[in-house]
Structure 1
Amino acid sequence: MNEKVSLKTMLSIVAVALVSFSGIMAETAMNVTFPVLSKEFHTNLNSIQWVTTAYLLAVTVMMTTSAYLIKRYRSRSLWLASVIIFMIGTLIGGFAPNVVLLLFGRILEGIAAGIAMPLMFNIVVATVPFTQVGTWIGLASMVVGLAPSFGPTYGGALVDTLGWRSIFFILLIAPTVSLLLGWKTVGSIERHPLSKTFDVIAFVLLAICLTASLLLVNQLESGTVNWTWLITALVTLIGFIWRGLTSTHSFLNLKLFAQVKFVSLLLVISISMFIMLGLNLIIPIYLQDFLHTSSFWAGFSLLPGALLGAFLTPVFGRLYDLKGAKLPSYLGNSIFTVSVFIIAVWSHHLSLVLIIGLYITFIIGRNMSYTSAQTAVLADEKESNKADATAIVQTLQMFMGALGTTVGALLQSESGVANGLQHFSWLSVGLAILIFGLFASYFFKNRTTK
């Protein structure tokens, strides 16, 4: 029986997705404003980079609370909170007279996006019929996936015409549309009774661990290891694990990490994000510094692949619904592996046209296997575990994305632009082969548990 998704459900998903879209759009659009902001606020680029780092920290830390929030509060209340917080943060950022207020506005935007992104996927798995969940996770991913495609172009165009503040003001259109679409459509999804109180200690330990880890990762770009951040990250991680296994309060369900199926797909999703964001950083630098293309063509090189990949994501989700996870997982990762292998072998002999073609191929394969893994990791879980699974998946892939950009920057700074691309591509080939093993582990365990 092929149940239909109601118009109300469709509009509610789009309404929540628009807040996620706005948050990611704000992040990627602001990356091109750093030189302008540095001059306007009379500060160095290292300080201005916190405009992005503060946002990523806020998103990552907020995502860790999403499992508790979704169980504790109505989805409509969470959606309204994310819209209001995002609009307030955007207005503060747009009118900010100094870096401190600009950072505060960015943190509020990150908090809003950290609420909205996990909520969007939870609404999909809770309201969409099982036979169509892959399609709708694909559609939700497409909305979010379009943001980093348009962000740099959107930001660059506005900086050159209306000024950097207009990036914030025009972004207010998306949450406004979200309010119009969602006011009568975003309702409450089924929640499981939650008698436990929020585990503040576990949250603080994980927040410190993630913050220290991201600061450690950023520090690695200079080629040195900050032992203070490393020790802090390790100690708080151990403390968080101990607290999670012994506490009677509610935060994240760490017992999910005892499930081979869950961990296998979690690693697939995280590695996929690591490779994609690493290449997204390396390729434009390679084009400008090694092939001597213009900044426009360097940025444009990723756009066709990103757009095509985003629009095909719902198709890959539908393939999952019709054929199951195995076909898109193995086929997608095969395309993914071949594309990074070619880049690794030909890294010193690539052209702009060839890079555009290879990146399109890479994104098609990557999105096919990624969508399959992301759908399966949520669809396989019991209803009571879906919120925790979403929170863990979203948090780890956000962190791995940041790690991918750092490793990419490190390899290029240490080995040179072309060698850096080659080394990262060979690393990607090895990780892509590992993904085959992770998929095999998942399907073997999936077969034996049925």
Structure 2
Amino acid sequence: MQATMTETKQQPGQKFKVIPIMISLLLAGFVGMFSETALNVALTDLIEVFNITAPTVQWLTTGYLLTLGILVPVSGLLLQWFSTRQLFIAAVSFSVLGTLVAALAPSFEVLMTARVIQAIGTALLLPLMFNTILIIFPAEKRGAAMGVIGLVIMVAPAVGPTIAGLLIENLSWHWIFWLSLPFLVIALLFGILFMQNVSTITKPKIDIFSLVFSTLGFGGIVFAFSSAGEGEGGWTSTKVVSFMIIGIVALVIFAIRQIMMKQPMMNLRAFKHPMFVVGTLMVFICMMVILSSMLVLPMYLISGLGLSALTAGLILLPGGLINGIMSPIMGGLFDKFGPKWLVIPGLAIVAAVLWFFSGITTASTIALIIVLHSCLMIGISMVWMPAQTNGLNQLPRELYPDGTAIMNTLQQVAGAIGTAVAVSIMTAGMNNFMKDVADPTDPANAPLAMTAGIQNAFIFAMVVAIVGLIVALFIKRVHVEKQH
């Protein structure tokens, strides 16, 4: 493994310094994912600081996802227009700028703008990371390489809430960003020194109509779902319905246009490969489950059980670390046995855990929450990387940029749908609970209402996991010829 990690040949005469490339990508990816979940623990705090509502503060997550949903589809095109070095330096520069603005943010509006700038960086970085790995590693070693990426991508969100809790307790939420800044600067310098160009630049024609319909389609759907969680009317409000219709119509036009074009912006022919379709659905479902439960769980711990941000972060730490540790192990098992024996049991575990979570009350013990969260994370690690790697392995090399762009785009859309639906189900559950109590103004009812709402949100996540389990029954191992 060490020999292959140091230098991998892909094309005659082309050698890659795999370790420096991986370090640059992983460091930038780690900080990006860290600030993504670190802010979740601060949301309750930010509601008070900026005097805003829960649906408004949710925009710090949703706005981030909305930007990703709009930009990631274009990434397949960018990977063919710009070199790996140019894209990496641009991505990390945006992340540095966004993090600096967030660290200095005096108001919610400035913080929101900073999140969008950060998201531009992440939108460029994620597809670049997966595409680079597909090129610099031969197929039979990809599971292990994806596992290492999984370790980093999963440990970052795991330690995020704990470190954020510690910072909020002792300093202020601004320090979540001040802490990330030096690491991003190091990643940028490392990338400038060591990043190599791995992809082939073909400069395909840019189709303005595709760009417009992609933005309206993905942006409209993410925006509609996000808006459903706030204000009066919920899902039936004019804003939600109109944006949903605009999004769906634009996506249909976008898809038809891509199929008819000789050089499409996003090559949907990747969907002709059945295991790529199954892999994409698995990633979509995992993202919905993870983001919806990672949003409502800290809220339950802080508002339902009355714990501090630091305690909530510490409770979520073991599960996240276990997930990170399991990721490379699952990558190795995938390389050996294929996806079936990991993905199906993994989703069964996820569905069972979410069923237990839907029964939590204000009397539930912290030990129970830690065990359930850890089991949930083990289940997710069994599904995510094996299904994703198996799906991408079925694609021919020229479809790698499109395959990674499709998977990453749908991942962001799934995240936005998951968080929006979970928040609106939670809010509806809280409101229904409050209608039935004798005295809604009694402060003792607030944690009970929050718990009732969160139980409903977990039932939604469980249904999603069961749908995933049914899809997983169709997964088959993709056999790839060994590259010498």
Question: Counterpart in 2 of 1:302?
Answer: 316
> For the Cα contact (< 8 Å) 2:161–2:316, is it kept in 1?
no
1:441 counterpart (448, 471, 474): 474
> How many angstroms does 1:373 deviate by?
0.4
Matches within 5 A, 1:17-416: 17-33=26-42, 49-96=58-105, 99-191=108-200, 194=202, 196-222=204-230, 223-225=234-236, 226-344=240-358, 350-416=364-430
Task: Say which SS state the counterpart of residue 5 (structure 2) adopts.
Answer: coil
How has the CA–CA distance of structure 1 residues 146 and 233 changed in structure 2, closer, same or farther, with 3 Å as cutoff?
A: same
Deviates more, 1:332-341 or 1:204-213: 332-341
| Inter-partner Cα distance in structure 2 for 1:409 and 1:206 | 26
TM-score by length of 2: 0.82
> How many angstroms does 1:54 deviate by?
2.9
> How many angstroms does 1:38 deviate by?
6.6
| Inter-partner Cα distance in structure 2 for 1:100 and 1:344 | 35
> For the Cα contact (< 8 Å) 1:123–1:189, is it kept in 2?
yes
Q: Which runs of 5+ in 2 are unaligned?
A: 8-16, 431-449, 480-484
Count of residues in Structure 1 that have an aligned counterpart in Structure 2: 445
> For the Cα contact (< 8 Å) 1:269–1:374, is it kept in 2?
yes
Deviates more, 1:340-349 or 1:377-386: 340-349
| Inter-partner Cα distance in structure 1 for 2:416 and 2:368 | 27
| Inter-partner Cα distance in structure 1 for 2:107 and 2:277 | 43
| Inter-partner Cα distance in structure 1 for 2:301 and 2:47 | 25
How has the CA–CA distance of structure 1 residues 238 and 130 changed in structure 2, closer, same or farther, with 3 Å as cutoff?
A: closer
| Inter-partner Cα distance in structure 1 for 2:245 and 2:354 | 34
Task: Say which SS state the counterpart of residue 194 (structure 2) adopts.
Answer: coil
Task: Say which SS state the counterpart of residue 330 (structure 1) adopts.
Answer: helix
| Inter-partner Cα distance in structure 2 for 1:118 and 1:76 | 14
Task: Say which SS state the counterpart of residue 442 (structure 1) adopts.
Answer: coil
> How many angstroms does 1:343 deviate by?
3.4
| Inter-partner Cα distance in structure 2 for 1:36 and 1:2 | 45
> For the Cα contact (< 8 Å) 1:4–1:129, is it kept in 2?
no
Deviates more, 1:236-245 or 1:110-119: 236-245
How has the CA–CA distance of structure 1 residues 434 and 165 changed in structure 2, closer, same or farther, with 3 Å as cutoff?
A: closer
Q: What is the letter of the counterpart of residue 124 of structure 1?
A: I
| Inter-partner Cα distance in structure 2 for 1:400 and 1:59 | 11
Q: What is the letter of the counterpart of residue 407 of structure 1?
A: V
The superposition leaves residues 293-330 of structure 1 with CA deviations (integer Å, 9 ceiling, x where unpaired) of: 45443343322101111122111111111222222223
Deviates more, 1:360-369 or 1:7-16: 7-16
Identity %: 27
| Inter-partner Cα distance in structure 1 for 2:383 and 2:204 | 37
> For the Cα contact (< 8 Å) 1:275–1:428, is it kept in 2?
yes
How has the CA–CA distance of structure 1 residues 172 and 230 changed in structure 2, closer, same or farther, with 3 Å as cutoff?
A: same
Task: Say which SS state the counterpart of residue 4 (structure 2) adopts.
Answer: coil
> How many angstroms does 1:137 deviate by?
0.5
Task: Say which SS state the counterpart of residue 475 (structure 2) adopts.
Answer: helix
Q: Which runs of 5+ in 1 are unaligned?
A: none
Q: What is the letter of the counterpart of residue 83 of structure 2?
A: R
Q: What is the letter of the counterpart of residue 467 of structure 2?
A: L
Q: What is the letter of the counterpart of residue 210 of structure 1?
A: F
| Inter-partner Cα distance in structure 2 for 1:339 and 1:369 | 15
Q: What is the letter of the counterpart of residue 209 of structure 1?
A: G
